[in-house]
Structures are given as C-alpha cells and as structure tokens.
Amino acid sequence: MSVFLRWLPRALMVLTGLVLLALCFRSDPARLTEGRFFSDGATYYSMTWSLVGDMDLEYTATDLARIKREYPDGPTGIFLKRASGGFELDGSAPWIRRVPSEDKRLYFGKAMTYPVAAAPFVAAFGTRGFLVFNALCLLTAWVCVFLEVRPRASEMMAMFASTALVFATIAPVYVVWIQPELMNLALVALALLAWRGNRPILSAVLFGIAGYTKPTHLLMAAPLGLSPLFETGLPVAKRALETVRRGVVMIGCAVLLFGLNSVVTGEWNYQGGERKTFNSEFPFQRAELKDVTFGNSGEWMTTMKLGPLEEGEAETRGSGIAQSTAELNSMFLANLADFWVGRYGGMLAYYAPALLALVFFLLLGPREKEGWFAIAGLFLFYIVSIRIIPGPSNWYGGGGTLGNRYFTAVLPLAMLFLPKGREFLVTVLGVAVSALFLLPAWLQPVDLSLRPARLASPAGGPLTYLPAERAMLNDLSFCTDAWRKKQPYDDVEGDPPIHRPGSRHGYWLYFPDDGTFGRETIPGMFLKDGEPMEGFRVKRGEKTEVLLRANEPVDWIDVTLIGMRANDDIEVSAGGSPQRALVPGLGSVRFRVIPGPYVMYYDSFVYSVRVESRGVAITQSPDSSQTEHALIRLALHVSPRPETKR
C-alpha cells in the first residue's frame, strides 16, 4: 500500500503532463487565435521563425512574408529596432563577417532567450512547437515545486500543494501565449532547485539567463545571495566572499548574453536605440500606394534608463512623458496596495495560493530561514517593479495581459515560504479563491487572452469587488475595447494644434465593466455652447463602476439622474458618503457626492465612481436606446491643482 501511495502521485503527474502535451500537439495556434497575436507574441513568433528559417535575428521582407502565411494581418504589435554593426553569417571561412557600421538594418527589439530556446521545438513541430515548449516549461516548474515540497510532506500532499501553487493561478493560461512567461517561470524554479541542491554556480548561471531576459528576475536570486551570509561556523569574510562569487557568476552570465546581443545586432540593449512598435503597417509592406519603411511608420518605444522619466530629465523619442515627483509618489502609494489586491494584476486574484502561503508563513509559521530569503526576493521585486522597472504606470505587463505576467517568474519563491504543515490549508483555500476569480480564464484561455476585458467585465462579478489599479489606467486590460477607454466629456482635451487648453471642468470616463453602455448623448439636453449633453446609462438591477479622470482635483460631483419611462432607485458613491435617490420615470433628480482621495495619473486626477440600480432588471433588448435604464450626467466642481507640472 505504501508503494502504491508513493507512486500514485507521480503517475498522476505524468498522466497530466501527457494530456497537456497531447492537447498542445493537436492545437493550431494561428487558428485558435483567429489569426491574431496578443501582447508581445508577434515579436517572439517572428524572432523564432527567423532563427529557424534564416539563422538570424534580422527582420527582412522574407520574415514579413513568412509571418503572413499564418497570420494574414501581419505581426501586429511587433517591436523592431534599427541598428548598425554586429556580425552575420558568411559563406566562407571564418563563416562570419562584421556588418559595416554604416549599414543600418532592422532587428527584433526583444531578448533572444525565448526564441533560441523555442526554436528547436518550432523547427520540429511548426508553430504548435511554441505551445509544446510552453507546456514543458510549465511542467518543469511543477516538478521543481513538487521536489521542493516533498521532503516536508507526504507524496500526495506534495502533489496537491505543488499543483495549487503552479496550476491554480493564471500561469496555465500562458501556455497559449507565444512569449517567455513560462520559460522564465521554469528558469527561476530550476535555479532555486539547484540552489537547494547545493549547486550554487548552476543556480547563478540560470538566474543570469533569467536576468538577461528581464533584469527584475535577478531579484529572485535573493536566496542564492543571502544564504552564505547566514552560514554558521564560517568566518564573515569567507561568507561574504561566497556571496560575491555567486553574484559575479550571475551578473557575468547576464552581461555575456547582453554582449552576445551586441555581437548580433550591434547594440547591447535590445530595448534601446531606434526602437519602434508597429500595429497596422510594417516595414517592407506596401500600403495605400506607399512603401512602408521603419522611418515612415510605427510608434517610438525606446527604453534607455531604469524607471519612469522624471521632471527635469530630457525627453527623447519613445522615452515617455516626464512626471513630477508628487505624481510619481501618488502612483507609487496607490500601487502599494494594488500589487496585492488589484483587480487586473493583484496577487489575490491571480496568484492566490502564493499569497496565502505568504500570509500563513508570516502569521502562523513555522518560519524557516529559506522562507525569509524568498520573502526578501519577493519584496525586492514588489518595490522595484512598482517604482522602477517598468515603472508605476505599467508593472503588470501592459494592456491586453491577464494578471501580472511579470509575477510569473516570482511564483517559484512561494515553494520556499510555504510553511511546513500548512500545505493542506494553502491548497484548499488557494484553489477555492482562484476558482472564484479565474475559472473563466481556465475554461477559455484563448478567448480571454484575445479579449481580456471580458474576464473582469461582468457587472457584479467577483473581480469587480476588487479595486481597479488607477495608477495604470490606460494600460488596464479593459482598455483594449475602444468604447471603454478615455471617453471625453465637456471639451476636456481642448484643441492642441492651436494650443487651446481643455476645460478645467472637463473629464474622461472609463467603463471597465458591462453595467453601462458607455458614453451616450442625453436626449433633449445641451451644453451652453449648444453641443449635445452626454452621460451614460446604468443597467437596471445592476452595479457598475466608472473611472473618472479629471483635469483638476475635484471638490464635489453634481449628479443628475434622468428617468427613462420607469422609476428606479439609484445609489452613487465616489469614495465618500454614498447618496441614494428615487428617480421618477419622466423626471430627474440632482444631488451632490463628495469624492474620496484621487490618484494622480499623467497630469490628471483619477477617481472611482460606483453606481447601483435597485430597479427590476430588464432581460429583453437590454442595449436598446428606448429601454428603461436611467441616464446619469456628472458635472464637476474643481479646485486649482497642487503645485505640480502641467
């Protein structure tokens, strides 16, 4: 019986792995995604196929033609950079030659790690090789966590706990993503397992590879660097020397890879220099009777420094908008909580088992020093990611992502601070919480990756009870639907070509959930200049939240509720005391609400406005303009802004 119980968990893990790999072998990524890329997939797909087909990382007309065979709309979202120098393959000894410095070429603007690792699988299995490679990375991380937990729990409990930590998160969804999230997960898991197996140099090399892919991954090496300092029985100097030795190997490996990047493309920074992203027109394409080139298309996206651009620093092409210290501090303070409980990237919703393991470790124990090392790495990542890399306005992976994709590489640290004897609690509670938030993503990974707004859009759904990350407003996943993002009211933008500023009382509204129909014109009502007055409707019997982005700090909001044929009972809150009113079917009601604290965001002030209708829900033609949903109009009373950059 004991032999059976020992081998049953392993058999179940092998069976699960085989089923996952079989699904990947049978999948056609281009068909699954309707011929569309999401997130950074276009760049990594193109890089990998360029390695497979041309043995280089240069973007040419051949690459564009190859991409369009499977993705007719082209590599939407691809990152390219124009650089000179580097080396290329040659037909005669020594079979490589240096590219002349005056010969500028186009290269892919991402790290080469994932394409190099995935290339053999793509060469063998075609584009489905990406899914096979991703699945193998996920399974590798799972095995690493299992091997770490097994010495302190039964085989069966180790299987359940490792399954919860890896699979009961957003991580499995990334199997269908053509990008390095799961490779980074596997690299960090292998590096930590190598450290635990007393192979520090191998661990340092793996961390160095992960650090080249994304510098924040070096922070996951905190256990590797801290552990020698706490060794007993050794002189302090010897302990410090061992930490330095490991650090030199790790940093040296990362620097070596950046140097290889310089050899290949002529520049060490794959995100620096002349770098652009392209969404509808691509170099070497002919569109609208013109030849598309790197120079006449695309959007500048250059990263030459750590952290956001601060006021007083010189702005360059693609460097972003300079922000004041007060603004950066406001965003940072908001992100301190949003990192853990945010609606679109917080640990609670997307990595619940890891968060519960952390809570149980801190509150209940037992606490071992390896767990403290892991927590040090987690908190370093926490602070650095929301303040420095990539900055306070995009710490979770950008528009179109599901959950904090950067956190995937941090996940293996949880196997170290999972407290002994608490595995059952973490497993049961973690799976329950994750299922509450992520069940739709597990069941429809491709559909929700293509349409990420749908995960948190059901009004009154579990995710809508979590706060939206206002300091990342334009990069939140619902903004991929144009009607939900930055809808202007009251001439908020002015007329930039003639330098006419927007109205001080103007604002934008964002519609993250389906409790409204977006911006609408209010029949028979006009502004002072004769323009139609605009507002939004709240669906009867539902709750909704709109995010209000004002040009100036808001003292209060005058709310006008307009009935549409039927009475309604509506409550409105903007962070202060809620106000509630009965709305007559053919009349209107006005009241004032006081907003709560704002979050500064790129020279504006963001508030959350929540509305609840207690009327009877309408099930027939809910989006008809003639239905009985009440209309809402917001008018702002503002104060002069604090002394910040305009």
Chain segment 603-640, per-residue pLDDT in tens = 899 999 999 998 776 655 555 555 678 889 999 999 88
Residue 204 within any structural domain of the chain: yes
Same domain? 528 vs 633? yes
Can you read off the two tokens belonging to residue 124? 């063998």
Asked whether residue 429 carries a pLDDT value surpassing 70, the answer given is yes
Mean pLDDT confidence for 81-94: 72
Same domain? 406 vs 552? no
Residue 283 within any structural domain of the chain: yes
* Confidence bin at 315 (pLDDT 50/70/90): low
Residue 132 within any structural domain of the chain: yes
Residue 476 within any structural domain of the chain: no
Domain span at residue 512? Answer: 481-638
Residue 272 within any structural domain of the chain: no
Structural domains in the chain (count): 2
Same domain? 430 vs 488? no
* Confidence bin at 387 (pLDDT 50/70/90): confident
Same domain? 30 vs 89? yes
**Worst-scoring range by mean pLDDT, 106-120, 282-296, 488-502, 597-611?**
488-502
- Region of residue 516 (left: phi > 0; alpha: psi -120 to 50; beta: else): beta
Q: What is the pLDDT of residue 422?
A: 94
pTM of the full predicted structure?
0.91
Asked whether residue 318 carries a pLDDT value surpassing 60, the answer given is no
Asked whether residue 195 carries a pLDDT value surpassing 90, the answer given is yes
Same domain? 497 vs 364? no
Same domain? 429 vs 508? no
Cβ 54 vs Cβ 62: under 8 Å: yes
Any idea what the CATH number is for the domain that residue 632 is in? 2.60.120
Asked whether residue 392 carries a pLDDT value surpassing 90, the answer given is no
Q: Pick from 447, 470, 505: which residue ends a domain? A: 447
Cβ 63 vs Cβ 47: under 8 Å: no
Asked whether residue 375 carries a pLDDT value surpassing 70, the answer given is yes
Q: Pick from 447, 465, 492: which residue ends a domain? A: 447
Residue 57 within any structural domain of the chain: yes
Cβ 253 vs Cβ 205: under 8 Å: yes
Same domain? 506 vs 436? no
Same domain? 198 vs 73? yes
Same domain? 439 vs 499? no
Asked whether residue 304 carries a pLDDT value surpassing 80, the answer given is no
CA 610 from chain centre, in angstroms, equals: 25
Asked whether residue 528 carries a pLDDT value surpassing 70, the answer given is no
Same domain? 106 vs 46? yes
Strands 96-98 and 87-89: antiparallel
Asked whether residue 95 carries a pLDDT value surpassing 80, the answer given is no
Q: What percent of the chain has pLDDT over 70?
A: 88
Residue 103 within any structural domain of the chain: yes
* Confidence bin at 646 (pLDDT 50/70/90): very low
Same domain? 89 vs 168? yes
* Average pLDDT of the chain, as a whole number: 88
Q: What is the pLDDT of residue 623?
A: 52
Instruction: Please tell me the distance from the alpha carbon of residue 45 to that of residue 33, in angstroms, as a whole number.
Output: 13
Instruction: Please tell me the distance from the alpha carbon of residue 173 to that of residue 179, in angstroms, as a whole number.
Output: 12
Mean pLDDT confidence for 238-250: 96
Q: What is the pLDDT of residue 323?
A: 76
Q: Pick from 389, 423, 447: which residue ends a domain? A: 447
Same domain? 506 vs 554? yes
Residue 475 within any structural domain of the chain: no
From 400, 366, 395, 401, select the one nearest 383 (Cα to Cα): 395
Instruction: Please tell me the distance from the alpha carbon of residue 394 to that of residue 114, in angstroms, as a whole number.
Output: 22
